[in-house]
Amino acid sequence: MKLAHAGMRMSHNDWTIFMNLLNETLNKFSVPSPEKNDVISLIDSLRNVIVEK
Ligand code: HEM
């Protein structure tokens, strides 16, 4: 995952925008809370591997 995103200069701001879009998407499809939280935690655990500045 690190190699796939290396050099993209992804910022914390980019990440926040992405997480908000993910949240809106899960809401749009009415994904219930436990599953929604699982997806958000799993994806957010990758933040430090993908964000590099
Ligand atoms: C701001 C957030 C993100 C952006 C802008 C982004 C952008 C990209 C781009 C442009 C590629 C293509 C790289 C290439 O073909 O050279 C890529 C690859 C990939 N991304 Fe992301 N990414 C983001 C977050 C994520 C997240 C959260 C995940 C996982 C849940 C993810 C999983 C992957 C995977 C699996 C690949 C393919 C790697 C491969 O081809 O071997 N990305 N990403």
pLDDT digits (tens, 9 = 90+) for 13-23: 999 999 999 99
35 neighbors 43 (Cβ within 8 angstroms) = no
Query: Residue 18 CA: which ligand 1 atom is closest?
Result: 1
44 neighbors 19 (Cβ within 8 angstroms) = yes
Query: Does residue 14's CB lie within 6 angstroms of at least one atom of ligand 1?
Result: yes
* Mean pLDDT value across the chain: 96
Structure-block tokens of residue 6: 């290396």
Say how many Å lie between the CA of residue 5 and the centre of ligand 1: 6
Would the pLDDT of 53 be above 90? no
**Between vectors from CA 27 to CA 22 and to CA 32, what angle results, nearest 5°?**
110
Structure-block tokens of residue 28: 């749009």
